[in-house]
Structure 1
Amino acid sequence: MVSFRHVLLASSAFLTLTSATNPRPHDTSVCSRQDLKVLSCTPAALTANDRCVESPSGLLLLTQLWNSDPGLGPPDRWTIHGLWPDYCNGSYPVSCDTSRAYSNIIEILEGYGQSRLLNYMRKLWRNDPAITLTNGTDADLWYHEWEKHGTCMSTLRPSCYRSYTSAREAVDYFAQTVFLDRRLPTYDYLAECGIVPSNSSTYARAALEGCVRDANGGGLPHVHCSRQGVLTEVWWYYHLAGRVKGGKYVRTNTTFPSNCPAEGVKYLPKLGSH
């Protein structure tokens, strides 16, 4: 993530996450129904209980990677980078609580019986050091994402739980990230627009942005490229009513423009995908 982002006017459309399909939400006894209706990055969020609304970092970004070299993950799926909380102006906090910087993510998830979640992460939350800037294993990336971003989420603090158990909030962070990722088939969105990985074809930035914007119901994600003009990431932006886990995510625009070239964007096939 960069240190400065230009602010765009938000154009939002609701993505309602129902209790039938969403991960089981927090114990809501510490929040009233009205508390959980407050939308982040609105005037009401400034005075709301920050255990019940994300504040002050009320922008949530579900960020995805296209790892072409090495080819990480299935050849027709984008992988996860992380779930990030940004301030409403596009700047962001980092590493907010070292006392909860859990490094044993696999052990935590296994301890909570999250084998299916862990299997999904092993397949689709992969570490590409060239993009994530995090050397090491996939588990090292998971730790990094939790320590840097998850600990900065106001509604994932231990005080948000009536019956808190150790590291439960980390489980909620990973579960919600996967929940959002499963509902963002970026490869399919682009393919429906005729944008597919190729060693010969290139694409216009406007075509990429228009495709993912329309798939997102009007909110413009951030489309990110390498210095060589290779498509590497898409960041999906939301405001949030309620808590990180189980809240209502409201699609909105990126806070800064794409760095991809206007023409000639490369979307390369994955090499030796695994």
Structure 2
Amino acid sequence: MYNGADSLVILLAEFEASSKQLISDLTSSLQKNLPTLGCPSGVEIQFWTHEWEKHGTCSESSLKQHDYFEITVNLKQKANLIDALTSEGIQAAGNSYNLSSIKEAIEKGVGFTPFIECNVDSSDNRQLYQVYLAGPFAKKDWYDIKAPSVFQVKNVGKTLVSRTQGTKDGEAYAYLIQVS
């Protein structure tokens, strides 16, 4: 007989196994486009399971797990934040940039205004933590599978980290470091 914690571990393991099977044809694409930056190699399925449980299940009435991850990969490839920034001269080369310039570059590059979430590191520096894009994303523009035409704000990917270096003329500036 299992106690509650043992049952939860078994249930999670069964869910991860079924998830792995459901998205097995996407595994190499997920490893490239949705890697586990903070986790050791080989535990990708745990990260993807977390992403599905935290972000994907809200779309479960319209999207099955496989479709959710396929759209996520397609969206990340189409909304290439690094390309959007570098095409506007914003590069991860130790330079400082105005945060509004970063936002404008992303908007120009991908066609949607980003929501930029920051956090604070252990040295009390503000960092760019996540970039969110809000739709509506038209099916024809982003993917070739049946999906809703409007999404809630979704995480595109942790492709940049930045530290605020201070202010200039009342505007915050950021130091960019590419992490993927």
Does residue 1:225 correspond to 2:138, yes or no?
no
Q: Counterpart of 2:167? A: none
Which of residues 183, 191, 195 is equivalent to 2:90? 195
Compute the TM-score of the two structures, normalised by the length of structure 1: 0.44
Q: Counterpart of 1:73? A: none
CA distance in 2, matches of 1:183, 1:145: 20
CA distance in 1, matches of 2:97, 2:138: 36
CA contact (8 A) 1:108 1:171 kept: yes
Question: Aligned letter for 2:76?
Answer: D
Structure with the greater relative contact order (CA < 8 A, sep ≥ 6): 1 or 2?
A: 1
CA distance in 2, matches of 1:146, 1:181: 16
Pairwise CA distance, 1:214? 1.8
Match of 1:203, SS state, is strand
Which of residues 43, 52, 56 is equivalent to 1:146? 52
Question: Aligned letter for 2:116?
Answer: V
Pairwise CA distance, 1:154? 4.8
Q: Counterpart of 1:122? A: 31
Q: 1:250 to 1:126 in 2, by over 3 A?
A: same
Pairs aligned (count): 144
Which of residues 209, 221, 228 is equivalent to 2:103? 209
Trace 1:1-274 onto structure 2 (pairs within 5 A): 102-104=15-17, 105-110=19-24, 114=25, 117-129=26-38, 137-156=43-62, 169-199=64-94, 201-217=95-111, 219-227=112-120, 228-239=125-136, 245-247=145-147, 249=149, 262-270=171-179
CA contact (8 A) 1:202 1:264 kept: yes
Pairwise CA distance, 1:213? 1.5
User: What 5-or-longer segments of structure 1 have no aligned partner?
Assistant: 1-97, 131-135, 158-168, 255-259
Question: Aligned letter for 2:103?
Answer: E
Instruction: String of CA shifts for 1:182-217, please: whole Å, max 9, x gaps.
Output: 111110110011100023x11111101111122233
CA contact (8 A) 2:92 2:177 kept: yes
CA distance in 1, matches of 2:153, 2:104: 12
Q: 1:223 to 1:124 in 2, by over 3 A?
A: same
Question: Aligned letter for 2:33?
Answer: L
CA contact (8 A) 2:62 2:147 kept: no
1 or 2, which has the higher strand percentage? 2
Match of 2:172, SS state, is coil
Among the aligned pairs, what percent are the same residue?
Answer: 22
Q: 1:181 to 1:241 in 2, by over 3 A?
A: closer
Match of 1:265, SS state, is strand
CA distance in 2, matches of 1:155, 1:239: 18
Question: Aligned letter for 1:151?
Answer: T
Compute the TM-score of the two structures, normalised by the length of structure 2: 0.64
User: What 5-or-longer segments of structure 2 have no aligned partner?
Assistant: 1-10, 155-162, 165-170
Instruction: String of CA shifts for 1:54-112, please: whole Å, max 9, x gaps.
Output: xxxxxxxxxxxxxxxxxxxxxxxxxxxxxxxxxxxxxxxxxxxx9xx9322223223xx
